[in-house]
Amino acid sequence: MEVVIVPDATAGGELIAEAMAALVRRKPDALLGVATGSTPLPIYEALAAKVAAGSVDASRARICQLDEYVGLPAGHPESYRSVVLREVVEPLGLSEASFMGPDGSAEDVQAACVAYDKALAEAGGVDLQLLGIGTDGHIGFNEPCSSIASRTRIKTLTEQTRVDNARFFDGDIEQVPHHVITQGIGTILEARHLVLLATGEGKADAVAATVEGPVASVVPASALQLHPHATVVVDEAAASKLKLADYFRHTYANKPDWQGL
């Protein structure tokens, strides 16, 4: 696992966007896994700016979804399908045909989970998966004590996650669904490159447990320690509980340019 400490969210977004752009230059039809929420927005803004400036051609790139609410219609403004189309697909100038995600409104949700795992495999696998992290260490919607071997499945949200997400539903927790479809930790670990961005002091404990703690299902993000190419990008506030912060800074400062992110 590589840990990169950046000054702020904007710098983190630029760093990750350039890594995504470099991937697309190498592999124009790369499958990019995206996350929702406020944390990754600087990434999408920086990547869209690169596309607009002509520094990268993303016209053949493909986008896939990490998770989805169960029960919200696809056209609901806070369904993750709508959010990804609005914040990623459209700004990159892509068509909806370039996008794939699980069907949270399917009659048979369990079958939709199996179908999504199969679709990701048939697409050649995810080349780069973006991740955020919850205050309790969750990734995707794999809440604490999720199996590290888990596949795409239905999960029940904790009340803390529903409270955290109520801000997207006009502050009304009653509008936040209780259930979601999420890529499982085992599914996430199959991506070729995992990139987690965390910002703010509120994420500091979760980041420290993920990076420096034991691999444990109670901290789902700690499973990134098992991945051969995982990158954790954190701002100074989110890095504030890391005991090895100085070592991580030294390592990144002396990293050869040819290694990339």
Active site residues: 67, 136, 138, 143
The H-or-E segment that residue 3 falls in is strand 2-6
Q: Would you say 179 and 216 are in contact if contact means Cβ atoms under 8 Å apart?
A: no
Residue 18's contacts (CB-CB under 8 Å, 6 or more residues apart) are 46, 50, 261
The structure tokens listed for 160 are 């803390």
H runs (alpha helix) in 62-158: 80-84, 109-122
The structure tokens listed for 238 are 């989110």
Is the Cα dihedral 210, 221, 139, 62 positive or negative?
positive
Neighbours of 67 (CB within 10 A): 20
CA gap 255, 251 in Å, rounded: 6
- Count of all residues that appear for the chain in the document: 261
